[in-house]
Amino acid sequence: MIAKALKSRYHPIVAHLIPVRRCNLSCAYCNEYDDRSKPVPMAVVQHRVELLAALGTSAVTLSGGEPLLHPQLDEIVRCIRRHGMLAELITNGYLLTPKLIRKLNRAGLDHLQISIDNVLPDEVSKKSLKVLDRKLRWLAEYAEFDVNINSVLGSAIRNPEDALTIARRARELGFDSTVGLIHDGSGQLRKLDPPQAAVFSAISNLPKPFHTSALYTRFYENLAQGRPNDWHCRAGSRYLYICEDGLVHYCSQQRGHPGISLEEYTRENLEHEYHTVKPCALYCSIPCVQRVAMVDEFRERPREALARFFPVHVHGHQTSSDLPTAIRVLTWLFLPRNQDSWRSRLTSTFRRAALLCLRVR
Ligand code: SF4
Ligand code: SF4
């Protein structure tokens, strides 16, 4: 996915697809669900998956509402995989059973994210560790796909230290964990208060995959301190949000822009939105879009991007000596400092071999 995204610019890296808007919960801070709408018919979802594949999309994330309320969810996952795209699911986990986990294994699901908001349910959210721990144990036992537990920090959550408990439990079970910052109805950050900021800092210091750690450094540390981020949001191009009506939106919090039917969405729309400046970007806290933006930052200015993702401050200067080992090896292979003709030929051979191995056309 990353190699394809680095090679070409005008295809979506991630598309969020909503198979059902209804949710079985009603979290107080959420504006992404209703309590009545019907699942999108399978034939319609299938057609949307085909359209996304035709646009060159690399990964499709199913969310809602609650996507497990769709009776043919495993069929949708199978359809995404059949079209050569990665399949991801974001769920509140309430409806998970060992049988359903096995079905998702067989369908070829790549990744599942459960959001857990607190340790004990309260009037804001019932997505609680107490309720969901049994589901997590089932996932640890049966899931053949990657699992990430996402907890949140922000004004709506009563006990910020719950996020740390949830992150530790995720690691105990062998899952990845991330923390999100609760945004308002336009995707904008609400500044963390001192106890929330302390919990954020403790979670940031837990060991994590280098791409998550880079996301924290690049975006979250600023936001947690109430500072804006300087970045180019590529929503509508590298990231698409397809609602239950089949319209393309920038993201869940900027629905209506551009609001064009997926049927009519073309490479010209992707190119146009790639360059469109989004006024809501400064305080945006939508991680899916920011992750995708990091790929393009790296694509356009690789060395500067690495220095931003993995900064090391030594007497006020930045060095790149503390890059994770994998990144250091890749930098040596693909981004040599010395550009003489011998080294350029070697780099170009590495590049061709890598694209061949990864089957990127
Ligand atoms: S579970 Fe998710 S979709 Fe449902 S109300 Fe809560 S945040 Fe919204
Ligand atoms: S900056 Fe992009 S992702 Fe963030 S709210 Fe605006 S359109 Fe959505």
Which residues are within 8 A (CB) of 217 and not within 5 positions of it... i.e. 6 or more apart?
A: 308, 309, 310, 311
- 102: CA distance to ligand 1 center in Å? 24
- 333: CA distance to ligand 2 center in Å? 34
Q: Give the number of whichever ligand sits closest to the CA of residue 252.
A: 2
Q: Does the beta carbon of 6 sit less than 6 angstroms from any atom of ligand 1?
A: no
Running DSSP on this structure, what letter comes out for residue 185? T
Bridge-partner residues for 183, per DSSP?
189
pLDDT reported for residue 322: 63
Rounded Cα–Cα distance for residues 96 and 100 (Å)? 6
Q: Record the tokens describing residue 295, joined without a space.
A: 């790929």
Q: Does the beta carbon of 160 sit less than 6 angstroms from any atom of ligand 1?
A: no
Q: Does the beta carbon of 68 sit less than 6 angstroms from any atom of ligand 1?
A: no
Atom of ligand 2 nearest to the CA of 187: 5
Q: Give the number of whichever ligand sits closest to the CA of residue 185.
A: 2
CB-CB neighbours of 79 under 10 Å: 22
pLDDT reported for residue 321: 53
Domains of the chain: 2-300 (3.20.20.70), 302-357 (no CATH)
- Residue among 16, 49, 2 nearest 287 (CA): 16
- 65: CA distance to ligand 1 center in Å? 6
pLDDT reported for residue 3: 82
- 355: CA distance to ligand 2 center in Å? 31
Q: Does the beta carbon of 27 sit less than 6 angstroms from any atom of ligand 1?
A: yes
- Residue among 355, 233, 211, 361 nearest 297 (CA): 233
Q: Does the beta carbon of 65 sit less than 6 angstroms from any atom of ligand 1?
A: yes
Rounded Cα–Cα distance for residues 147 and 136 (Å)? 9
Atom of ligand 1 nearest to the CA of 125: 6
DSSP string, 123-143: SS---BHHHHHHHHHHHHHH-
Q: Give the number of whichever ligand sits closest to the CA of residue 66.
A: 1
Residue 219 in contact with residue 233, Cβ under 8 Å?
A: no
Q: Does the beta carbon of 26 sit less than 6 angstroms from any atom of ligand 1?
A: yes
pLDDT reported for residue 170: 95
Atom of ligand 1 nearest to the CA of 26: 5
Q: Record the tokens describing residue 239, joined without a space.
A: 């990231």
**Cα angle, residue 212 at apex, residues 209 and 215 outer, rounded to 5°:** 150
Going from the first residue of the chain to its last (361 residues), give the mean pLDDT of each consecutive group of 10, the final group possibly shorter.
84 97 94 96 98 97 97 98 97 98 98 95 94 98 97 79 94 92 70 86 84 89 90 98 98 95 97 96 93 93 85 56 73 77 82 80 68
Q: Which residues does a 6 A CB cutoff place in the pocket of ligand 2?
A: 187, 233, 235, 250-251, 253-254, 278, 280-281, 284, 286, 289
Rounded Cα–Cα distance for residues 303 and 60 (Å)? 29
Q: Record the tokens describing residue 360, joined without a space.
A: 């990127």
Is the alpha carbon torsion for 272, 7, 213, 303 positive or negative? Answer: negative
- 117: CA distance to ligand 1 center in Å? 10
Closest Cα to atom 8 of ligand 2: 251
DSSP string, 86-122: EEEEEE--TT--HHHHHHHHHHT--EEEEE--BSS--
Q: Does the beta carbon of 32 sit less than 6 angstroms from any atom of ligand 1?
A: yes
Q: Give the number of whichever ligand sits closest to the CA of residue 94.
A: 1
pLDDT reported for residue 313: 57
CB-CB neighbours of 341 under 10 Å: 7
Q: Does the beta carbon of 75 sit less than 6 angstroms from any atom of ligand 1?
A: no
Distance of CA 248 to the CA centre of its chain: 17
Rounded Cα–Cα distance for residues 297 and 244 (Å)? 31
Mutation test residue for ligand 1: of 30, 35, 36, the one with most atoms within 8 Å of CB:
30
Residue 32 in contact with residue 64, Cβ under 8 Å?
A: yes
pLDDT reported for residue 236: 98
Q: Is 213 exposed, middle or buried (0-12, 13-18, 19+ CB in 10 A)?
A: middle
pLDDT reported for residue 347: 83
- 155: CA distance to ligand 1 center in Å? 17
